[in-house]
Homo-oligomer: A and B are copies of this chain.
Amino acid sequence: MANVLVVHGGGPTAVINASLYGVIAEAAKHEEIRHVYGAIGGSEGILKERFLNLTSFPEEKLKLLLTTPATAIGSSRYALEAEDYEAMRVVFQKHDIRYVLLNGGNGTMDTCGKIHRVCRDFGIHVVGIPKTVDNDIAVTDHTPGYGSAARYLSETVAEVGVDVKSLPIHVCIVEAMGRNAGWITAASALARKKPGDAPHLIYLPERVFHEDEFLEDVKRLYEEKGGVVVVASEGLKGGDGKPIVPPVFQTGRSVYYGDVSAYLAELVIKGLGIKARSEKPGICGRASISLQSPVDRDEAVLAGREALRAALRGEGGKMVGFVREDMPDHTYKISVSMVPIDEVMLYEKPVPEAYINDRGNDVTEDFVRWCRPLTGAVIPEYIDFQELYWEAAKKE
């Protein structure tokens, strides 16, 4: 009998707790596991031996993990030193922890690889569970956390689109998370039920942002529609590779930038004399349970289960990855593969060129097809009497 330890790293998602639930549920099936511990407060919790025995809680409590936003055992951005890894190994041995599962993004997978290297010769199996709203982890088709962030943004932008259309007197700029990768921003395209629906313009950080083209496009659309919805990544950059918003303040390693949405709204007001406003749901989006994707949640549970299974098989230094099956009827199906950590560590996966249109102000149908199954939901049907009126009027 031995113990399992789960550790969370980096920023939360709407389904990271679902992966934790997956680990606990899987552990219950294996007699060789005594306890599943949670490291409280991320990797710092390992060093300080802050372990909570999760298997001691009743099932009805544990089920709350599926719908608890953020991370129920806490997380950290604690910067580890070289000697910390060896110290961790000693802690694992002291607590009879033979299976260590690290749930996180690129930074956490880097940590995962380093812990693996000090542990592999001691019979301790270290496996990564991917997690990020940004979807920027390499090798895997997509990452748990992303589907929910994508659903939140697409459903929210659909609603904002109806709002702006019903009182079409301004340009509305919605800012999306993802500083270096535009996956979340791109997902806003799923808001559309038909051509012409919001969002009308989508700007990803993978492409250089041209202010003149932006204003040209906004002006044309405003004249046509009266109300324009733009979705912009928080990380838009100009031709010089620098953020389009100048830094507001710098403290140590951290640089604080103003908001892209506010910056673009100001551009529209000053440059075109058109009323504009900015919306920046920010972390409201990554924490939303009411718009959690059911597919994302199920896959997060699966990722937790598979990580433990792999560790029990004796694997280590690997991350659970998703491979999309090429189905003859184009239905959505994934299989799980174990990806060597060295292939993912610290490599940010951008949105590929094929998913961005030529002018760089929208995504392609290929992207929409790729993304749609991940949100596990369709935009609800709304009734638009304005549209019905104009359609009837055209016929007369």
A249 CB, min distance to chain B CBs, angstroms:
5
A333 CB, min distance to chain B CBs, angstroms:
27
A381 contacts B by Cβ under 8 Å: yes
A222 CB, min distance to chain B CBs, angstroms:
15
Provided the pairs A12-B166, A386-B73 are in contact, do residues A249 and B269 lie with their beta carbons within 8 angstroms?
yes
Contacts of A248 in B (CB 8 A): 266, 269
Report the contact-size class of chain A (Cβ under 8 Å from the partner). Answer: 35 or more
A385 contacts B by Cβ under 8 Å: yes
8 A Cβ contacts from A161-219 to B: 162-167, 169, 172, 174
A64 contacts B by Cβ under 8 Å: yes
A286 contacts B by Cβ under 8 Å: yes
Q: Please give the count of copies of this chain that the complex contains.
A: 2
A248's nearest neighbour on chain B, judged by CB, is B266
In Å, the complex CA distance between A382 and B64 comes to 6
Q: Are B290 and A283 in contact (CB under 8 A)?
A: no
A270's nearest neighbour on chain B, judged by CB, is B249
Of the candidates B54, B286, B287, the one whose C-beta lies within 8 Å of that of A385 is B54
Q: Are B40 and A159 in contact (CB under 8 A)?
A: no
Point out which of A77, A162, A283, A385 has the most chain B C-beta atoms below 10 A from its C-beta.
A385
Contacts of A290 in B (CB 8 A): 155, 290-291
Of the candidates B10, B11, B162, B251, the one whose C-beta lies within 8 Å of that of A69 is B162
A258 contacts B by Cβ under 8 Å: yes
A278 contacts B by Cβ under 8 Å: yes
Supply 18 A–B pairs (Cβ within 8 Å), ascending by A. Answer: A8-B166, A12-B163, A40-B385, A50-B393, A62-B383, A64-B383, A65-B383, A68-B382, A68-B383, A68-B384, A72-B386, A77-B169, A174-B284, A248-B269, A277-B283, A278-B280, A279-B281, A279-B282
| 16 further A-B pairs in the complex, CB-CB below 8 A; given A70-B165, A72-B386, A74-B385 | A8-B166, A10-B167, A12-B167, A65-B383, A68-B383, A69-B159, A72-B166, A72-B382, A72-B384, A74-B167, A163-B283, A164-B283, A248-B266, A254-B275, A262-B262, A279-B280
